[in-house]
Amino acid sequence: MKALRLTQWKSEPVLTDVPEPHPGPGEAVVRIGGAGACHSDLHLMHDFGPGQLPWGPPFTLGHENAGWIHELGPGTSGLEIGQAVAVYGPWGCGTCARCRLGIETYCENPAQAPVPSGGGGLGLDGGAAELMLVPSTRHLVPLPDGLDPATAAPLTDAALTPYHAIRRSWPKLAPGTTAVVIGIGGLGHLAVQILRATTATRIVAVDTRKDALTLAEESGADHALPAEAETSQKIRDLTGGKGADAIFDCVGNDRTLALAAESARTLGDLTIIGLGGGTLPIGFFTLPYELSVQTTYWGSRPELIEVLDLAARGHLRAATTTFPLDEAIEAYHRLEAGDLTGRAVIVPSRM
């Protein structure tokens, strides 16, 4: 079968032939109907080297996946051949306290995980292929009626990641509050939709690109502001001088973190979602009093179920451009060039 594989660090992926996988006890093979192309994959291709992560190439890319159950291994139950499923991407040990709660992103027993702090497309073979081996059926979430795999695939990360971050801040997003989303790309435009669907906060979107700001407005933002020197003051003007109650930085570089700090309200939240490599100086007088600053990584399996329910009921939909598997490399080239709106989705199979 065909698969898009990263064969070594600091290299372009290659589309090549690999053997078809077959499941062992408790495992499943999924015929992939959609695999999201994520900006973090570009970091894997270009920014990391040997020893920087607890795993490495070669592996098949694609950590946002959905499809249909193709084959089930011995000892599996509760699922059927042909059933449409999403793949929960982080794969932990399955037995520690965090994993038992479905928060496998924060597995506390990484030595017993299939790959420490990774999963399919992150050290093990992912979904940029015709078939994908999933090492436990607990990682499979049945798709609600009306949600197809190509639509669901990007939601497993591009929606789950901001959903987890926003869910943490729900108590600070009552009517009369303001939330800011910085960076209206694959994650950011879904963050706007999640805020609109799950809170009554005023939503302010910030980006450098005019088309991204248009997408933000279409996604439900109350205000769409270009990123410039006056942006933090504009946010303060919109909030009567108070600042934003919650800020979700989907970029995470020095400039966006500085903007977030300048725009935040006392007792607010600043959540760093993007992997832009920026740093935020913290001192007694550098941030608003009692501003909580946190990073988050992905989300939990129960939260993925909630995300898929929102999508099935029409509250979330990723803006996508689809590519057949033979054009998967082009999807990453266009993602890197910044000329895609929303998310790229590789579609190896259709039903």
pLDDT digits (tens, 9 = 90+) for 310-319: 999 999 999 9
Tokens at 302, concatenated? 């129960």
Q: Domain 160-295: give its CATH code.
A: 3.40.50.720
CB burial of residue 116 (10 Å; 0-12, 13-18, 19+): middle
> Taking the domains of the chain in order of start, what are their residue ranges?
2-157+299-347, 160-295
**Residues 240-282 pLDDT 10s:** 999 999 999 999 999 999 999 999 999 999 999 998 889 999 9
> Is the pLDDT assigned to residue 59 strictly greater than 90?
yes
So what's the pLDDT on residue 166?
98
Least confident of 41-55, 56-70, 243-257, 283-297: 41-55
- pTM (2 decimals)? 0.95
Q: 108 pLDDT exceeds 80?
A: yes
Assigned token pair, 83: 């059933």
pLDDT in the model for residue 115:
83
Six token digits for residue 223: 């205000």
Q: How far apart are CA 190 and CA 203, in angstroms?
A: 12
Kindly tell me if the per-residue pLDDT of 287 is higher than 70. yes
Q: At what angle do helices 328-337 and 39-46 cross, to 10 degrees?
A: 90
pLDDT of residue 342: 81
Cα distances (Å, whole numbers) of residue 54 to 80, 114, 296, 350? 34, 11, 19, 34
Would you say 239 and 180 are in contact if contact means Cβ atoms under 8 Å apart? Answer: no
Please spell the DSSP secondary structure of 63-109, one letter per residue. Answer: -EEEEEEEEE-TT--S--TT-EEEEP-B---SSSHHHHTT-GGG-S-
What sign does the CA torsion over 37, 39, 40, 45 have? positive
Q: Does the pLDDT value for residue 117 go beyond 90? A: no
The C-alpha torsion from 274 through 194 and 287 to 240, rounded to 10°, is: 140
| pLDDT (0 to 100) of residue 39 | 85
**Band of residue 339 on the pLDDT scale cut at 50, 70, 90:** confident
What is the Cα–Cα distance from 278 to 294, expressed in whole angstroms? 13
User: Does residue 330 register a pLDDT over 70?
Assistant: yes
Question: 303: part of which helix (H) or strand (E)?
Answer: helix 301-312
Superfamily of chain region 2-157+299-347? Medium-chain alcohol dehydrogenases, catalytic domain (3.90.180.10)
